[in-house]
Chain A
């Protein structure tokens, strides 16, 4: 079965510092990978997907098939980036989206 691992429950960084939220996955095929974000008192929403290869709110994520990773990065953290971040995987076939346990990012002013 597919599995998504986010090793950090909580990540605290200072404003302006680089951020890297780790995501590793377990799947033998070619996955679709996503990052979802939930800001305080807001709904869970899609941040970005690997297939789009775009930068959203300064965040990027690169799929590394060799390391089975999809880490989320931002060069300079902002206070408004504080939120809960979930990595999610969609395998081939009729399989559901599988989420990791999430990492809470706290950006300290």
Chain B
């Protein structure tokens, strides 16, 4: 089966600019996650969707980050405006259903550099 797809793979922007990332989960997967992984750290959940509804966005910096999952399939994560500390790899993951322990399948990530 095709894996989780993400684009772009790399992005370099200047601070205060905007950026958007796209994720296409594995077909049929109801749950979609966005993680932020700063260099030297493990992934940290930003937001979790179940179909097109938000399950958990408690760690999403809502003053600058937004995410949507229209039609319960693809998702976009936006940062506006970006700060230097947003430099990180943004990982998208998906899992089959609503069971918390379902295996999460990760995409290749988008590496963001904010100058």
Contact = CB atoms under 8 A, between A and B. Distances in A.
Contacts of A49: 101
Contacts of B105: 45
A88 B108 contact: no
Contacts of A90: 100-101
Interface string B34-77: 00000011111100100000011001000000000000000000
B43 A99 contact: yes
B105 to A, nearest CB: 8
Interface in B62-115: 91, 100-101, 103-109
Q: Is the interface of B mostly helix, strand, loop or mixed?
A: loop
Given A4-B42, A94-B55, A43 B108 contact: yes
A101 interface: yes
Interface residues of B, number: 22
Interface string A32-56: 1000000000011110010100000
Contacts of B103: 46
A54 to B, nearest CB: 13
A53 B92 CA distance: 27
Contact of B106 (A32, A45, A100, A102): A45
Interface string A56-89: 0000000000000000000000000000001010
B28 interface: no
Nearest to A6: B42
Contact of A96 (B40, B56, B91, B109): B56
Contacts of A86: 42-43
Contacts of B40: 101
B3 interface: yes
Given A101-B40, A101-B42, A44 B101 contact: no
